[in-house]
Amino acid sequence: MHDALHARGVCVERGGRRIVRGVDVDAAGGRVTAILGPNGAGKTTLLKALLGLVPSTGTIRIFGWTLGDLSARQRAQRLAYVPQQTQLSATLAVRDVVAQGRFAHRSSLARLDAGDRRRVSAAMRTAGVEAWAERTFPSLSGGEQRLVLIARAVCTGARILLLDEPTSSLDVAHRLHILDLLRRLASDGRAVVCVLHEIDDARQHTDDAVVLAGGSTVAHGPAAATLSADLVDRVWGVDMIEAGGIGFRLRQGVTS
């Protein structure tokens, strides 16, 4: 049985500098994997290497297929990406943004068929964005836009989702909605891999963690056990206080 995503010794070099140094990542269906590390650790670059968006060395396998052997469309049918900051500023309707997720499933000349339209609607329902279907993308708040981009990723039908800091710059409600949504997407059998900055979010809401520093793996394993006070001290240079403080959770029955 293959892991959904199996990467070994991934290295990325830019301008003669090695940004990612021999990192291993495994992501299985049904699990949420967090990639953490201080700023400049190489998290985003690693995520882009896993997507094939930046040249890398090492082995990356997607359901047993070597990433480099797959065409752009084949990759898009298996791997979906949610960027931290989208470049999309055109006045596209939310429904049309989500429908971009169907591009890899039909010829460039073909129109959306009834099956595509059903998948677009289903993806919008899953992410809770169907109420904004006819609104323009730029008119949404940052948190709402993030949900639309997740809906687009779901619409691709890919079984592996890679998200770059999906909760950054969001208020607490949007942050919790997105973390809850990621859990629901994984519970449907998808492998979810996300770059996170919040250590406590990773401990509470993800299953596995890969911790990077200086482009190398420092630790990996089950999130709660891996993200120990000792590791936090070593990697981030701060004390982790496990007692006291306040926390937030979604109200019962509230999804997105």
C-beta of 96: minimal distance to another protein in Å? 4
Is 15 a binding residue for another protein by CB under 8 A? The answer is no
Contact in structure between 94 and 148 (CB atoms under 8 Å): yes
- By DSSP bridging, strand 17-27 and strand 160-164 are unpaired
According to DSSP, residue 9 is labeled E
Is 246 a binding residue for another protein by CB under 8 A? The answer is no
Tell me which of 7, 19, 35, 51 binds another protein, using CB under 8 A.
51
Is 63 a binding residue for another protein by CB under 8 A? The answer is no
> What contacts 95, CB < 8 A, 6 or more positions away?
120, 124, 133, 134
Contact in structure between 152 and 72 (CB atoms under 8 Å): no
Residues 118-147 binding another protein (CB under 8 A) are 134, 136, 138
Is 92 a binding residue for another protein by CB under 8 A? The answer is yes
The owner of tokens 């190489």 is 42
Number of residues in contact with another protein, rule: CB under 8 A?
40
Closest CA to 54 of 192, 164, 151: 164
For 87, how many CA atoms within 13 A lie in the half-sphere containing its CB?
A: 0
End-to-end distance of the chain based on CA atoms, in angstroms?
33
Amino acid at 82: V
Is 83 a binding residue for another protein by CB under 8 A? The answer is yes
Site map 141..180 versus another protein, x via CB under 8 A: -----------x---x------------------------
Tell me which of 63, 65, 103, 236 binds another protein, using CB under 8 A.
103
| 12 CB burial (10 A radius; 0-12, 13-18, 19+) | buried
Give the pair of three-digit tokens for residue 213: 């520093």
Is 76 a binding residue for another protein by CB under 8 A? The answer is yes
Is 90 a binding residue for another protein by CB under 8 A? The answer is yes
Stretch of 34-42, 108-116, 205-213, 237-245 contacting another protein, by CB under 8 A: 108-116
Tell me which of 15, 39, 87, 172 binds another protein, using CB under 8 A.
87
Residues that bind another protein (CB under 8 A): 48, 51-53, 71-73, 75-77, 79-81, 83, 86-93, 95-97, 99-101, 103-104, 108-109, 111-112, 117, 134, 136, 138, 152, 156
